[in-house]
Structure 1
Amino acid sequence: MEANKPIGWYLKEADKRITAFLNDEFADLSISRHHWLIMQRIAEQESIITWEFFQEIKSTVNAQQFGEIIQSMLDRGWVTVSAEDKCAFTAEGRGAYQQIGSIQQERSGRMLNGITEAEYNLMISVLNRIIVNIG
């Protein structure tokens, strides 16, 4: 791959390929990268306001897709959504998150194969500085 493209190209291409890789890896579980992102955030914060979280990821998923993902998690009994739009795990959802998390660690390891922890941390630091710089 050439190294003379603008940084935006690399960012978009990496995101596109990460999404395709994770969607393919999660296909056997009938979930997508976005299911996993939602589950991670719920695990981190105990709950999310679905509309607020959608605002964070709407550049990668549209409102209809997001709604379908939340509905699929409701249908599986993994989450509940309150009248205040607060989405939280059920006991079954917590168990699914733990099970999928174990699988995800192995799959992420394959995706990051050959990248050292120092390289990963540097990449995150550089990207964060770009974000802060252009705020």
Structure 2
Amino acid sequence: MQERRPVGWWVRRLDELLEEGLDAVVGAEGLTRRHWQVLQSAVDGPVERAALHAALASFAGPAEVDGVVAELAGRGWLRTDGGPLSATDEGRAAHARLAAAVGAFRRSVADGLSEEEYARTVAGLARMVANLERALGR
């Protein structure tokens, strides 16, 4: 029965499980997947708020992203002094603490897939997204 489910069902179910699993991994620090995404973006280098909104648009609206930014700034993990957002030393340390666990979680998602199978899966999904974006005129 499961094999007959359409790709949309599988994509949605995978996203639900990714959300739940990553929330569990970062939950020890009182964080959610959104917190991790924002912190990851800031650790990679200063990021403009508009660019962060655009990068996370598929996951959360600007108000939710701004709320997460405020929470991380309140912990002293982000600088939000009117310019681009950037991670503080404390934010980079928190990121480092979490990175190994997040990496292990990500590897568990692809358990049993060869690198080639994983790459083909991602490429297939990317092609489906491109097909739909083109069909919808985006």
- TM-score w.r.t. structure 1 length? 0.84
- Residue 124 (structure 1) aligned to one of 118, 122, 135: 122
Name the residue aligned to 1:104: 102
The answer to whether residue 78 in structure 2 is matched with residue 73 in structure 1 is no
Name the residue aligned to 1:58: 57
Distance 2:37 2:114 in 1: 23
Greater than 3 Å deviation, 4+ residue runs: none
Supply the AA of the counterpart residue of 1:69.
V
* Unmatched segments (≥5 aa) in structure 1: none
Identity %: 20
Q: CA deviation at 1:12?
A: 1.4
Q: CA deviation at 1:55?
A: 2.8
Supply the AA of the counterpart residue of 2:26.
F
Partner of 1:3: helix, strand, or coil? helix
Name the residue aligned to 1:87: 85
Q: CA deviation at 1:99?
A: 1.7
Supply the AA of the counterpart residue of 1:5.
R
Q: CA deviation at 1:93?
A: 1.2
Q: Deviations over 1:51-103 (max 9, x none)?
A: 3322332332244432221111101111111324x211111111211221122
Provide the aligned C-alpha RMSD in A.
1.9
Distance 2:51 2:41 in 1: 12
Q: Which has the higher contact order (CA 8 A, sep 6+)?
A: 2
Partner of 1:36: helix, strand, or coil? helix
- Residue 115 (structure 1) aligned to one of 113, 116, 124: 113
Distance 2:39 2:114 in 1: 26
Q: Deviations over 1:6-63 (max 9, x none)?
A: 222211111111101111222111111111112222233x021223322332332244
